[in-house]
Structure 1
Amino acid sequence: MLHGIIDIGSNTIRLAVYLIEGGHFEQLMKRKHTVGLASYVEDGIMQPEGIERAVEILQEYKKLLHCFKITKVAAFTTAALRNARNSREAVGEIEQRTGIKIRVISGDEEATFDFIGATHSLNNASGLLIDIGGGSTEIVTYSERQIVHKTSLPIGSLGFAKKYVSSILPTMSECTEMYGEAEATIGAAEDFLNVCEAEIVGIGGTFKGACALNNELFNLPAANRRLETKNIRTLISTFVTDLGLTQEMTVALMRSVPERIQTIIPGLVIANVLARRFQSHWITYSDSGVREGYIYDQIIGK
């Protein structure tokens, strides 16, 4: 049966259509709008403009689903709407105007779905999983394919860009401010103080963009999904605005992360702090995450 999954994230709003049969599923198509929903939150309140953008995109997705008679539709939202003080009112208005029921998943649920989706096809039974989103960062440690610790931290690439970056790309001093908040927030996650993992399984746009930018800068194959953590600081220092950008650097940035130019460096700052904290040498990007985890747990598993 055809299912539509709508993921209303802090940075992007996505629709993916899956063919789900028994315990198996296949992604047939996906649509994505880079909205930056978290940037519409002012003083903790989701502004009417953000609600309007969400409604506009969901109505577009609804037309597509209706055209192909896809009636099995699940929509959920993460940090941007979850953390807004007017979350209930904002979500209620979007539901009323679109006719689409939206589930606000908690940070704990998001971390669980991330884990299920990303690790379902991995060979490693134990490890460390991280999802750096636009408005939050989920961290999961697991052993024997079971979650040991999980948390959702209120730091994300878009949130940092909005809070600290005055232009398109940050200055080194702005990076220093971001490092300070990331280190304080991650350091307060007591369950992870003694975690040490050589490799991180990374999901989400920051890690996808990091691999693409790393491949472009270090002349690696475009399909490569592994990143040495020591390269993260090089990526950050290359694209801060203090020394100016060469044409070659601009081409690399626009070619590899055109939709994440404003958020990639803030996201990499968080990634760098995490890699240092956990003494990780490698990051492997997984293309499966919260949507796939939702399918396994909420659709196939029921």
Structure 2
Amino acid sequence: MYGIVDIGSNTMRLVIYKVEGGKPRVLLNKKEMAELASFIQDGMMVADGINRACYILDSFNLLAKDLGVNNLHVFATASLRNISNSQAAVSEIEDRTGLAINLLSGAQEAEYDFVGAARTIDLKSGLLVDIGGGSTELVMYNNMQIQNSISLPIGSLSMYTKFVKHLFPTKKERKKIEECVREMIVRYDVDQWGDCPYVCGVGGTIRNVDRLNSYFYDLSKNNRFVIAENLNWMVKKLENRENKKLVPRETLETLLKVVPERVRTIMPGMIILNTIVKYFNVQSIYVSRAGVREGYLYKQVLTKEGEQNA
């Protein structure tokens, strides 16, 4: 069995896999809403954020040992990558927990997203999108080969913190987030990639968009496609049009029912996704259940231990 811990900007997650014949099967999937991006001040992670990360890692480590997994493989993404005290924070967390942390670069995160999703998707060519709490990974691929990849320093939690004054974004705040996303696309030359009708979406934000899509359009829980028109309608439907602190009760009840753990961040994440969809003239999004954790397992753990060919 293998234990993988993903330290994200919004959530921290422990997944324990059993691998048979080179294929992993999830035995346990434990998530904690760490919201580490909210502990960043002046570009640095403050002590409370480091304490939060240590507390969750210690609890994960105890749980894993109780289940017979004595060696956790821990990696961090934008949560610890996009801070000015990155190395100091990583070193302190490692010293306090006794766990080694692999700090992934944006390029590595994008690659592992693709490697994980590639084993589950039917789309041979397209654009892969992963919207995390502090970064957004984009991978353009053709015939299952990566053509371009980039990690943009924008995410659902960072956009909420930067632009949203109350619980849900207003129309004016939505437009500011959209403008920021378009600016990043141009700044990082992603605008040169050209149109792409199909997206493979990975990660928690897009999985929760899929849940909302199934709820609003009365689709099967097994549905994995979100069409662009549906996404755009949901963004307009859920934004705070009243420009007040109080939001419509119907909106709040919907999100608490369908995506309770992401009430604050789902809308900024949807706005990021919708802006990308419009920019690349996307028609539909296929939602994958695999992503960076599975890619990390394949490339960093199983391959090195000779468990599979990759």
Q: What is the TM-score when the length of structure 1 is the normalising length?
A: 0.96
Q: Deviations over 1:218-270 (max 9, x none)?
A: 22223322111112222122222223754443322111110111111111111
The separation in 1 between residues aligned to 2:28 and 2:66, in whole angstroms, is 14
Partner of 1:188: 187
Structure 2: gaps spanning 5 or more residues: 305-310
- The reply to whether residue 202 of structure 1 matches residue 204 of structure 2 is no
List aligned pairs for 1:93-108, cutoff 5 A: 93-108=92-107
Could you tell me which of 292, 295, 298 is aligned with 1:293? Answer: 295
Residue in 1 that maps onto 2:52: 53
Question: Any idea what the Cα deviations from partners look like across 1:59-85, whole Å, max 9, x if unmatched?
Answer: 111111222231232000000211110
CA contact (8 A) 2:61 2:72 kept: no
User: Which residue is equivalent to 1:272?
Assistant: 274
The CA distance in 1 between the partners of 2:255 and 2:190, in whole Å, is: 36
Aligned pair count reads 301
Residue 32 in structure 1 maps to residue 31 in structure 2 = yes
Q: Distance in 1 between matches of 2:194 and 2:113?
A: 19
Cα deviation, residue 93, structure 1? 0.8
3-state SS of the aligned residue for 1:138? strand
- Specify the SS of the correspondent of 2:9: coil
Paired position in structure 2 for 1:41: 40
CA contact (8 A) 1:75 1:100 kept: yes
Alignment partner of 1:123: what SS? coil
Tell me the TM-score normalized by structure 2: 0.93
Partner of 2:142: 143
Give the CA deviation at 1:212.
1.0
**Aligned residue runs from structure 1 range 1-302, under 5 A:** 2-243=1-242, 245-302=247-304
Alpha-carbon displacement from aligned partner over 1:134-180 (angstroms, at most 9, x marks no partner)? 10000001112211000000111000000011111111111111111
The question of whether the paired residues in 1 share the 8 Å contact of 2:168 and 2:267 is answered with yes
Return the offset for 1:285: 0.7
Partner AA of 1:265 in structure 2: M
Q: Deviations over 1:10-60 (max 9, x none)?
A: 100000001123422111011000111111111110010100111111111
Instruction: Give, in angstroms, the shift of residue 192 of structure 1.
Output: 4.5
Deviation larger for 235-244 or 137-146: 235-244
Give 1:214's aligned amino acid. N
CA distance in 1, matches of 2:170, 2:90: 36
Shift of the alpha carbon at 1:298?
1.4
Return the alpha-carbon distance in structure 1 between the equivalents of residues 226 and 60 of structure 2.
Answer: 34
SS in 2 for 1:268: helix
**CA spacing shift, 1:76–1:194, aligned 2, 3 Å:** closer
Q: Deviations over 1:274-294 (max 9, x none)?
A: 101111010111110000001
* Partner SS for 1:201: strand
